[in-house]
Structure 1
Amino acid sequence: MPGPFTTQLLSVTTGQAETVTDLTEDCERFLHEAAGGRDGLLNVFVPHATAGIAIIETGAGSDDDLLAALHTLLPPDDRWQHRHGTPGHGRDHVLPAFVPPHATLPVIAGRLELGTWQSVCLVDTNRDNPRRQVRLSFLG
């Protein structure tokens, strides 16, 4: 039986476009081994200054709507003080204030306790960094 705390690092390739990447299946695979049927908490954390974790519906347009809303709230133009990288890259460093770099979710009997249409997603607007790491940690 696994210990009370287990962690794993995922490598995710997001490419060179703004993306919402569904991590739900990765989380479920991790919990299948780490939780051992126990109740607890899953923490999902992206250790990057320009990405976040969102719990949203995917596949019905909500993921594209989120990117469109972020594009409106945080336009990729030259208004940002942080200016290295692709033009407008400073907005990517503001993203975690709107989409936090973590989420903590309930696990019941070893299974992720999400609503019917909820998915765990990596939100990445930074086109300069196509590779991301996501840390999954189970405490139970």
Structure 2
Amino acid sequence: MFRKIIHVSTKREGEIHNLTPEVIAAVHESAIREGLVHLFVQHSTAALTTIEYEPGVLADLARALSVLAPDDTDYAHNMKWGDGNGRSHVKAALVGPSLVVPVAGGNLCCGTWQQIVLLELDVNAGRERTVVCTITGE
């Protein structure tokens, strides 16, 4: 097993960071040829997924999340804590905090246009995000 921590600094809600180069580097550093990469973001207002890292589809994703958890809805979390990021928690829960990608022949098995991304969803952005990258196999 091999573990690497990936740090991401964000500035604003809606940022989408391409983590693929860091994950590929971790796979190569691990020397694992056949196995799995498990990624987990240690925050409740950020999420991980795969997507084609292209401006149009990134905008489409942001719009879809805004429909599912709109800015102008009352959130119980906001009423209790007053931090205004209830929608951020909902969006993060919908997308999810983790991702698993196969490794074959010492390479990450992403599709041609598929990239691994971190979504910064917190309205109170300007955060330091931590992604735990664990690679298992042989």
What TM-score results when the alignment is normalised by the length of structure 1?
Answer: 0.88
**Structure 1 residue ranges (4+ consecutive) displaced by more than 2 angstroms after TM superposition:** 84-87
1:75 to 62, 70, 74: 70
Residues 51 and 126 in structure 1, CA contact (< 8 A), matched pair in contact too: yes
Aligned-pair CA distance for 1:85: 5.3
Gaps of at least 5 residues in structure 1 are none
Residue by residue over 1:30-82, the C-alpha shift from the partner in whole angstroms, topping out at 9 and shown as x without a partner, is: 11101x15110000110111111111101242112111111111112351000
User: What is the match of residue 119 of structure 2?
Assistant: 123
Q: CA RMSD in A?
A: 1.5
2:44 counterpart of 1:49 = yes
Deviation string 1:87-140 (CA, Å, 9 cap, x unpaired) is: 3x1011112331010000100011100111100000121032422111111001
Amino acid at match of 2:131: V
CA contact (8 A) 2:32 2:135 kept: no
- After TM superposition, the score normalised by the length of structure 2 is 0.90
- Seq. identity, %: 34
Please state which structure has a larger fraction of its residues in helix: 2
Q: 1:66 aligns with which of 57, 61, 69?
A: 61
Q: Is the 8 A contact 1:15 1:127 kept in 2?
A: no
User: Unaligned stretches of 5+ in structure 2?
Assistant: none
Q: Secondary structure at the match of 1:128?
A: coil
Change (3 A) 1:93 1:60: closer
